[in-house]
Amino acid sequence: MSTSREKIINRAVHEIQDGMTVNLGIGMPTMLANFIPVSMNVFLHSENGLLGIGPYPHENVVDPDLINAGKETVTVKEGGSFFDNAESFAMIRGGHIDLAVLGGMEVSEKGDLANWMIPGKMVKGMGGAMDIVQGARKVVIIMNHVNKYGESKIRASCELPLTGSQVVSRLITDMAVFDFTDKGMVLKEILEGANLDMIRNKTEADFSVDKNITQKEGSP
């Protein structure tokens, strides 16, 4: 796992609290399952019909019939349950998901999210993200601060097709943590290895800085 991914996941796991029902999106978010403390009672939900996902399996106990929405093999915790796709989406649309942690391609300063397709590239389908961002009580997006070209993924407005408008509650990158409020986008935390000048330089979107901002030890 790259340093930036490790930094993001280590910060994102603190969003998960005991007793929560949580949906983890495809890609980096699914890795959070391995970082949730065993002492916490958390119900991981997958839109393909599974509640009670455990950590990734070791090779000697892989069951090809147990998969998450990203088609990855998973384990099921004691007491886990299985149900059809319609029941799973009824849970989402009914507001029974406390927290959704999803990946992102772009996030705007208004909290818009684009994470389901890049025009001209083949996609299998839009998946369940459009329902999840509307139905979950809190939506946290985790992603790198910039793309492979060094361009900001946090934009004044999204250029890619939207998954949802003004749906993001919190954004966690490898540099910072932002909240989206009725006063706009607010920088809440500076992560290790970053500083305010670096964040301003790498963020296209307009944001304010929380007066009680925290900075991780080791940040310049």
Give SS3 for 120: coil
Q: Please tell me which residue in 6, 15, 47, 59 is annotated as part of the active site.
A: 47
- Longest CA–CA span in the chain (Å) reads 51
CA atoms within 13 A on the CB side of 146: 13
Decide if 47 is catalytic.
yes
Sheet with 154-155: strands ordered across: 113-114, 106-108, 154-155
Cα–Cα distances (Å) from 101 to 14, 78, 146, 189, in that order, read: 11, 23, 19, 18
Whether the Cβ atoms of residue 24 and residue 69 lie closer than 8 Å to each other: no
SS3 readout for 121-180: CCCCCCCCHHHHHHHCCCEEEECCCECCCCCECEECCCCCCCCECCCCCEEECCCEEEEE
Tokens of 111: 């909290």
Whose CA is closest to 171, among 116, 216, 219, 106?
106
CB neighbours of 83 closer than 8 A, spacing ≥ 6? 49, 50, 51
Q: What is the set of active-site residues?
A: 47
